[in-house]
Structure 1
């Protein structure tokens, strides 16, 4: 067994991950799901539903462009399609063409805060009448 002394270990500020390369940790922290800038109001909202979309892979990274299925999100109240924060930080960027049920769609960033957000716990409180003042 080999042991190394005086090795620098980088720790993520948001999760227990440890890496030996500083640039890799910087990249990880940007995408980390525990990072507060990646926690969006939509993830806990009952108006947000997961949908399957198709997008075109770029011919720059693949020999031929092709439609690929992927998960995305749709706000039922606003009737908009949204991409998660992980895609914002993607090296490939956003795809040029995205479709849902055969129609081309435009995706927006998930908002950090939303004025119409209804968390699942709020809806349970309404259904069962919890936390109501008499």
Structure 2
């Protein structure tokens, strides 16, 4: 396992960030469809990744100060990207834990590393880090 970080700690950060996406405060920004949300999330992830990573590294009580100078839309998407990154970290750490507890021989290294790389992309919370239920098609 990665020192000083557990999957649960990363997941808790994601949950706390998601809780900051207050439905009433951000009602005009919350995506109406999963297609819109995933497209916007991917676009904002490119532009706000550094801010989102910075946000995840700050103590929770400093989150408000960090984002207060941003527009409401920037706040929403920076928090959403930060939550997604935290959920991805949790999924990856869970896979590392699972892998470290298995006795797979080294010949399975490609399969093991692909499972590690894929873990964050199949995690439902990493795919939908918003405080509302994911719209169904």
Q: TM-score, normalised by structure 2?
A: 0.23
Q: TM-score normalised to the size of structure 1?
A: 0.23
Q: Which is richer in strand?
A: 1
Structure having the higher helix fraction is 2
The structure whose RCO (Cα within 8 Å, separation 6+) is larger is: 2
